Chain A
Amino acid sequence: MLPTRPKEVTLVEVLNRLLDKGLFLKAELVLTLADVPLIKINLNAMISGAETWSNSTIKPDGNADATIKPVVLAKKPVVLAKIAKFTEGKNG
């Protein structure tokens, strides 16, 4: 068995390939400020190139057929960004 030739992959190529396949994104995001949760986002998204979309049958409830393999990027609640940490009491 021969090895594969390692190719330099760019960000655009990866993104394009993801879109060609299609991806199913499920994420729970919590934005916090100074360690206090303020905004919570529950995300269920199917993202794909339009050609992929028209080539597969995707029902509204999100159950795709076998042509799109779901890629679950984030399962558990994710603290997405601690936007700024203000030291309490110093700036009034």
Chain B
Amino acid sequence: MKIDLEEENLKGSVLGLVMALLEIIQKMLEHQAIRRMEGQSINDEQIERLGKALLRLRETIDKIKEEQGIADVVNSIHKQLDSLVDGSLVSYK
């Protein structure tokens, strides 16, 4: 399993990898939050708090990506991770 990071821009690559993973975690948290909303197992106050936290996390990630100029690196890492999944995983029902 090989993920290509640029040697010349190691700081950007490592940071990019970290941000990519953070983005994945944020998306997973968001997905589970939505599922709880759909299952109606949380009240309005919890929804508001969750939404604020998730939004803040997302905005922080975007800000770091912009300030460090690593948006392309992060996209490339996501593409590589996704193609790993596409290639090797059989659909799990």
Enumerate chain A interface residues (CB-CB to B < 8 A). Answer: 8-12, 14-21, 49-52, 54-55, 71
C-alpha gap A62/B82 in the complex (Å):
31
Residue positions of B touching A, CB distance < 8 A: 24, 27-28, 31-32, 35-36, 38-39, 41, 78, 81-82, 84-86, 89, 91-92
| A9-B86, A51-B41 given; A18·B35 CB < 8 A | no
Q: How far is the CA of A63 from the CA of B23 in the complex (A)?
A: 33
Residues of chain B with a CB closer than 8 A to A11's CB: 24, 78, 81-82, 84-85
Contacts of A14 in B (CB 8 A): 85, 89, 92
Q: Are A51 and B32 touching (Cβ within 8 A)? A: yes
Chain A at the B interface: SS class: helix
Complex: how many Å from CA A50 to CA B41? 10
> Least Cβ distance of A39 to chain B in Å?
22
The reply to whether A51 and B89 contact each other, CB–CB distance below 8 Å, is no
Q: Name 25 interchain pairs, CB-CB below 8 A, sorted by A.
A: A8-B86, A9-B89, A9-B91, A10-B78, A10-B85, A11-B24, A11-B81, A11-B82, A11-B84, A12-B27, A12-B28, A14-B85, A15-B24, A18-B92, A19-B28, A19-B32, A20-B35, A49-B32, A49-B35, A50-B35, A50-B36, A51-B32, A51-B39, A54-B41, A55-B39
Cβ-closest chain B residue relative to A15: B28
**CB of B28 to closest CB in A, whole Å:** 6
B84 proximity list for chain A (CB < 8 A) = 11
Task: Please give the distance in Å from A74's CB to the nearest CB on chain B.
Answer: 15
CA distance A90 to B89 in the complex (A): 42
Which A residues touch B31, using CB under 8 A? 12, 16, 19, 49
Residue of B nearest to A21 (CB): B92
